[in-house]
Structure 1
Amino acid sequence: MSEFYDEVDEEVRREQLKKLWDQYSLYIIALALLIIAGVGGWRAYQYVEGQKAAEAGATFNKALELSDQNKHAEAEAAFADLAGKAPSGYRMLARFHQAAEVAMRDKEAGAKLFDQLAADRSIGGPQQELARLRAAGLLVDTAPYSAIKQRLEGDTAPGATFRHSARELLALSAWRANDAAAARQWLDMIALDGETPPGLRSRAEALQALLPPVAKS
């Protein structure tokens, strides 16, 4: 008897499934096709993006080779082209290198390109800090100390990625401006930071020795 009921239940389930299929089969098929199309489209997108990245990488390496060969005008043009059309990662790198190439012929123009990077939040905080540092490094010999301080003071705080280099540039700028008190402030920060790199610490000690006696620690 139990077998009979099992057979009846099975038949009922088959009938229910058939009704469901008859009612919703078009929707099920359409959903399956959408899933297949979505997966196919995603794989196609990944392939295209991979191809773009590979092409950008090859072009980027060629631009680096041009720079190494002192063909700076050609390298600058290649990096500028990449900066306009490469995928985001290579685009950011190309912009940094483009700015460096421009700076070789015109420091102020190079600094402006680094300033544009420093203002671009899409590239990330550490990269913005690096761009500010590069711009300040180009201008440290010509810009007043107040301008360099305005650029870099926020990057000297404990934990800032490039705080050591920012402090060094500020100390050098203050020294060039004959502001011994300000130079000592930054040199003291360098000396008291246990994470200051040895080479930078040595340079700071050498600069400290050039300060007038009243400004020495």
Structure 2
Amino acid sequence: MVDVFEQVEEELRSDRYKRLARTWLPVVGVILVVALVAALGWWGWDSLNSSKAAKGAEAYDRGMEALRAEKPAEARLAFEETVKEGNDAYKVLALQQQAGLAVTADKIPDAVRLFDQAAKTSSDPILSDPAAFKAALLIMDTAPLADIEARLTPLAEDKRPLHAFAQEALALARLQHGKTKEAREAFVLLQLGQDVPDDVRQRANIAVATIDAGTAGALKSIADAAKNAAPPAAGAANAPTPIAPAQQ
């Protein structure tokens, strides 16, 4: 009798295991297939990205060599190839170089468009913010204050890589549009900031002293110095040579 019970119990266990197998084996199979597809997808994406980076690097290097040889037409073609073939990082750099060529040719609207395109190409602020900042500087003297603020305010947030430079540009824009009080407040914050570059702090000191002396009109030289001072940036594109701020 005991043998009969054991046999029945074994058959019940067998049936239970079969039901579990029928239930879970398809699920496990799907998981394994998904994992395999994901692994193959990652491998393919990584290979493609490496290939695009290599092609972008080669074309970008040719563009830079052409620039050094003062062959802007050849440089432009190489940078266009970089934008077409390269990964996002090289696209951002190449678009900024194209924008620099447009500035040299006095084609400011084209330069702004190219800098904007570069800024939208990457979600990494280290790559995108320098391009967005340069576009904002190019429209400082012509665009309404609201447009300038819309461009610079996100860049001026504390954790952004160029926040001090963007805060300075915002202060200068507000000063140019007659908002002296708001501009002075921004310059004071730059004076007191803990991670403000020395040249920005120096210009802020001069700006506050000049505003307090009632000679804010003399700040044009400071504004020009700020616009021409190239902030640290990855692959800065044909940035103007920095000049020392005017002493008042």
Same fold (TM over 0.5): yes
Give 1:51 shift.
5.9
Q: TM-score, normalised to structure 2's length?
A: 0.60
Matched, 1:65 2:57: no
Inter-CA distance 210–44: structure 2 relative to 1 (3 Å threshold): closer
One-letter amino acid of the counterpart of residue 118, structure 2: L
Paired residues of 1:144 and 1:173 also in contact (CA < 8 A): no
Root-mean-square deviation (Å): 3.1
Asked whether 1:209 is paired with 2:209, we answer: yes
Question: Gaps (5+ residues) in structure 1?
Answer: 1-41
Q: TM-score, normalised by structure 1?
A: 0.67
- Pair 1:131-2:121 in alignment: no
Deviations 1:80-138 (A, max 9, x none): 22101223332232122222222322122111122223334x44233332222111111
Could you tell me which residue of structure 1 aligns to residue 153 of structure 2? Answer: 153
Say which structure is richer in helix: 1
Moved over 3 A (4+): 42-56, 212-216
Q: Whose Rg is larger? A: 1
8 Å contact from structure 2 (residues 89, 127) kept in 1:
no
Q: CA deviation at 1:181?
A: 1.5
- Map Cα deviations across residues 29-59 of structure 1 (whole Å, 9 max, x no partner): xxxxxxxxxxxxx999978865654443232
- The aligned amino acid for 1:82 is T
Moved more, 96-105 or 47-56: 47-56
What are the superposed Cα offsets for residues 171-195 of structure 1, whole Å, 9 maximum, x if unpaired?
2222222321222122122112111
Partner-residue secondary structure (3-state), 1:211: helix
Query: What are the within-5 Å matches in structure 2 for residues 67-146 of structure 1?
Result: 67-105=67-105, 106-120=107-121, 122-146=122-146
Match runs of 1:160-171 below 5 Å: 160-171=160-171
User: Matches of 1:45 and 1:187 in 2, distance apart?
Assistant: 46
TM-fit CA distance, 1:170:
1.2
**Alignment identity in percent?**
26
How many residues are aligned here? Answer: 177
2:117 and 2:45 map into 1 onto residues whose CA distance is 30
Amino acid at match of 2:117: Q
Change (3 A) 1:129 1:53: closer
1:26 alignment partner in structure 2: none
